[in-house]
Amino acid sequence: TYVVTDNCIACKYTDCVEVCPVDCFYEGENTLVIHPDECIDCGVCEPECPADAIRPDTEPGMEDWVEFNRQYAQIWPVITVKKDALPDHKAHDGETGKREKYFS
Ligand code: SF4
Ligand code: F3S
């Protein structure tokens, strides 16, 4: 599966949702997540993210992110149409530790 990681938080560009063939992106207030059981591993969303927030779970240290994505994909609504990024997205792009800050 692919997963949405830290740099989506507080940015949420949403370019990714338009290309997913199985519509497995889900939207929360501050970030998006991918449903790990629905993602077919096609990889087309990865280069679409301007924040480079989408990673394959084969990269080291992704277990936590898979669980984060799974947890919220089960409770957030699906998103299939691109919308404006969050107002302060430029200021938050590249900031570290956003998950701790926004989800604790
Ligand atoms: Fe959707 Fe493919 Fe990205 Fe998985 S890898 S979330 S199926 S676009
Ligand atoms: Fe987030 Fe990148 Fe999609 S910032 S909303 S994963 S395009």
Amino acid at 24: C
The mean per-residue pLDDT over the stretch 44-52 comes to 98
Q: What is the pLDDT of residue 104?
A: 86
CATH number of the domain where residue 49 is located: 3.30.70.20
Residue nearest to atom 7 of ligand 2 (CA): 49
91 Cβ below 6 A of ligand 1: no
98 Cβ below 6 A of ligand 2: no
Q: Do the domain assignments include residue 104?
A: no
12 Cβ below 6 A of ligand 2: yes
Nearest Cα neighbor of 85 from 7, 23, 22 is: 7
Between the CA of 68 and the centroid of ligand 2 the distance, in Å, is 15
Reported as type and span, the H/E element at residue 92 is helix 89-92
Identify the DSSP state of 14. -
Helices (H) and strands (E) in the chain, counts: 3, 4
Its domain, for residue 66, covers 2-81
What is the tally of structural domains in the chain? Answer: 1
Residue 99 has pLDDT above 90, yes or no: yes
